[in-house]
């Protein structure tokens, strides 16, 4: 329609438990939003289609024509260039060729990309890392992964290399070779086996015999409970050890911590900065800060991706 501004975008963030969708304006104002449970297997993609359609159809008539583009971000392995959901162990899909199905259903161009890559890019370009060319972003929760930006460019898996891990799998760097725990990836002693949310909760339960609901509980108790403090210190040590090679190779100026574990706040950032200061000798110690977008980084990133048209 001539004269109608195309200033709105549709963003969809697909997670292992829930899928979130929003229609937003350029200033970040949310015009429509909905969260659904993510179905298992390929049924998830039907649910994504329906979610986007409901959000678009529910807009006022004068807004629907203003939606310019959509972006859908997915977990696991993703081939953005060919719009393929390559693999997700948690959601049970493999080599799903999405093609133009979302664009056809919604009537607007739709981009596909990797959830953590987009979340880390958003934190770098628009959040805690904006204005800095060399940034490492860690998204920490059930797993640990992130992004690396060097010289103002995002490091990505080369286009077309399907079936390989996304760049930024920090959680699968082995740091406990001899006495580590088995990792689902097949290795032993990966960072995730010590420093992920579930690993921290399991370690505390193993040392105390008391089950805990989350890593946040362990962080909250670290100020008064010496066992909780020891578990946190062990997790921070593993995280720092996993970062050493990255820091020596690329010398980022800034490390940004996001995801659910970032709710630990200054306790986590200060402990990691202290440990890196103890370990680094020939490489400058980067600043360590909390993410600006928190657990909404993926959804905000998807909106920025839809608006920009690419990760740039």
CA–CA separation, 267 and 127 (whole Å)? 21
Residue 32 bridge partners (DSSP): 23
10-residue block means of pLDDT along the chain (312 residues)?
A: 75 94 95 97 97 97 93 93 89 94 97 95 97 96 93 84 70 92 91 95 94 89 95 97 95 96 94 97 96 95 96 85
CATH topology of domain 132-291: Nucleotidyltransferase; domain 5 (3.30.420)
Residue 138 bridge partners (DSSP): 146, 257
Query: What is the residue whose two structure tokens read 């082995």?
Result: 174
Same fold, 8-118+296-308 and 132-291: yes
The predicted pLDDT at position 163 comes to: 54
Nearest to 51 by CA among 118, 107, 106, 114: 106
Specify the DSSP element, H or E, that contains 35.
strand 30-37
CATH topology of domain 8-118+296-308: Nucleotidyltransferase; domain 5 (3.30.420)
Q: Per-residue DSSP letters for 115-170? A: HHHHHHHHHHHHSTTTT-SSEEEEEESSSEEEEEEETTEE--PPTT-TTSPPTT-G
Nearest to 288 by CA among 279, 298, 299, 300: 279
> Structural domain boundaries of the chain?
8-118+296-308, 132-291
The predicted pLDDT at position 157 comes to: 77
């Amino acid at each position: 329609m001539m004269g109608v501004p195309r200033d709105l975008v549709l963003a969809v963030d697909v997670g292992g438990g829930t899928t979130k969708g929003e229609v937003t304006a350029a200033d970040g104002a949310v015009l429509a939003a909905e969260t659904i449970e993510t179905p298992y297997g390929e049924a998830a993609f039907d649910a994504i289609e329906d979610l986007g359609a409901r959000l678009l159809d529910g807009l006022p008539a004068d807004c629907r024509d203003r939606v310019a583009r959509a972006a859908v971000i997915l977990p696991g392995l993703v081939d953005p260039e060919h719009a393929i959901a390559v693999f997700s162990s948690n959601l049970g899909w493999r080599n799903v060729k999405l093609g133009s199905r979302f664009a056809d259903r919604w009537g607007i161009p739709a981009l596909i990309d990797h959830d953590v890559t987009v979340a880390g890019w958003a934190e770098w370009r628009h959040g805690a890392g904006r204005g800095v060319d060399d940034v490492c972003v860690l998204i920490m929760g059930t797993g640990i992964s992130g992004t690396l930006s060097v010289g103002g460019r995002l490091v990505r898996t080369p286009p077309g290399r399907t079936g390989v891990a996304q760049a930024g799998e920090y959680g699968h760097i082995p740091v406990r070779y001899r006495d580590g725990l088995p990792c689902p990836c097949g290795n032993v002693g990966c960072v995730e086996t010590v420093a992920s949310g579930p690993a921290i909760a399991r370690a505390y339960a193993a040392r105390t015999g008391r089950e805990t609901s989350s890593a946040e509980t362990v962080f909250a108790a670290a100020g008064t409970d010496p066992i909780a403090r020891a578990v946190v210190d062990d997790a921070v040590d593993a995280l720092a050890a996993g970062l050493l090679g990255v820091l020596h190779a690329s010398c980022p100026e800034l490390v940004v911590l996001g995801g659910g574990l970032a709710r630990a706040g200054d306790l986590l950032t200060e402990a990691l900065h202290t440990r890196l200061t103890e370990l680094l000798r020939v490489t400058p110690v980067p600043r360590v800060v909390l993410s600006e977008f928190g657990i909404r980084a993926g959804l905000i990133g998807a909106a920025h991706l839809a608006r920009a048209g690419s990760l740039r």
